[in-house]
Copies of this chain bind each other. A is one copy, B any other.
Amino acid sequence: MDSYLGLSSLDTPCVVVDEEIMDNNIQRFQQYCDSHNITLRPHIKTHKIPALAHRQLMAGAIGINCQKISEAEVFADAGINDILITFNILGKTKLERLAALAKRVKLTVVADNKETVVQLAAYFREHNSSLSVLVECDTGAQRCGVQTPQAAQQLAALIGSLVGVTFSGLMTYPPVNRAREVNAWLKEARQLCEKIGLKPKVISSGGTPSMYQAELYDEATEYRVGTYIYNDKSLVERGDCEYKDCAMTVLATVVSCPTQDRVVIDAGSKALTSDLLGMQGHGWIREYPQAKIYALSEEHGCIDFSDCELRPSIGDKLNIVPNHVCVVSNLFDYVYFLQSDNRLKKVDVAARGKVW
């Protein structure tokens, strides 16, 4: 199949990524990191495309962050050789795959509980190997993680005591805008670990919101960030970027104008997802910034044009910046890159659906 296509040939709904905006996004944050001596480890959940991870590495990232083994396998297949999986890995089938992965890439995982550590150690010890493990710390975001620096020290001690696992440091998915508290937490945990002879080599923090405050995490040795490569409506509304910095749009067609103000497009929750992230509406329409996508069913999006001077016609195409790009990437088998010569290139989303 010829992978180069013209815009008019695109069947909607589909995803279009403006390559120039995307490359600018990669460069801009890399430059910020470089100027602040921050080690960058991009999270590939946002795009799930190995070629984009290679661009991030070429720009200066030291490796990638995955959430699941199945994602990591895809990126290892594509030649990425430094992977951090920020997830508790459990169970025989997953451990088998993890061990296979550890043989071919520099692999690190996280753990926040004894059971995970014991399973990892038992499996890797049996296979005469040792896996690098970070202790996941809940510094206030209230998802996973040990609850106190003392608990971090205890889990580090367990990792340090077992054959089959190697204590490599700490990891946190921090709450937004609380760098001072996060630093204090991590510093105490680091010092407690050092006190028992376990110096963290890596202290990994991250998060796209407020990513231009990454320099404030002075306890961290690396920063993980995902959404910045595309950006989306959630980041615009937080003030982290502008719509001109949003590289990904969902291209949709106007299929019905049943009333003066109601316009219906062929993109619903199976294209834009239902993610609201606390916002109003289901995306931002580049051609009609005042229009509101007020309701999605699975394959229809209903838009209110009552605040707009102009109305689209049936058959018109609209470019929609989604609320949350990471979940949109997980719906489409491929996306189209809009290149600087205005040609489109079809690119597989190789890790789409790799959630296990």
**Which residues from chain A sit less than 8 Å from chain B, CB to CB?**
8-14, 45, 67-68, 70, 87-88, 90-94, 112-113, 115-116, 119, 138, 142-147, 253, 255-259, 262, 264, 266-267, 269-271, 273-276, 295, 297-300, 302, 313-315, 326-327, 330-333, 352-353, 355-356
Contacts and interface: CB of A to CB of B under 8 A. Distances in A.
22 contacts: A8-B92, A14-B356, A45-B299, A87-B266, A88-B255, A91-B315, A138-B258, A142-B258, A142-B262, A143-B297, A143-B302, A144-B255, A144-B256, A144-B264, A145-B256, A267-B355, A269-B273, A273-B274, A298-B327, A299-B355, A332-B353, A333-B353
Contacts of A331: 330-331, 353, 355
Contact of A275 (B9, B87, B269, B352): B269
Contacts of A355: 13, 267, 270-271, 299, 331
Nearest to A11: B356
A95 to B, nearest CB: 11
B87 A299 contact: yes
Contacts of A142: 258, 262, 302
B258 A146 contact: yes
A212 B87 CA distance: 44
A121 to B, nearest CB: 15
Contacts of A273: 269, 273-274
Contacts of A8: 92
Contacts of A314: 88, 90, 113, 115-116
Contacts of A302: 142-143
Nearest to A356: B11
A126 B155 CA distance: 73
Contact of A12 (B11, B266, B295, B356): B356
A94 B297 CA distance: 21
B299 A68 contact: yes
A138 B332 CA distance: 30
A136 to B, nearest CB: 8
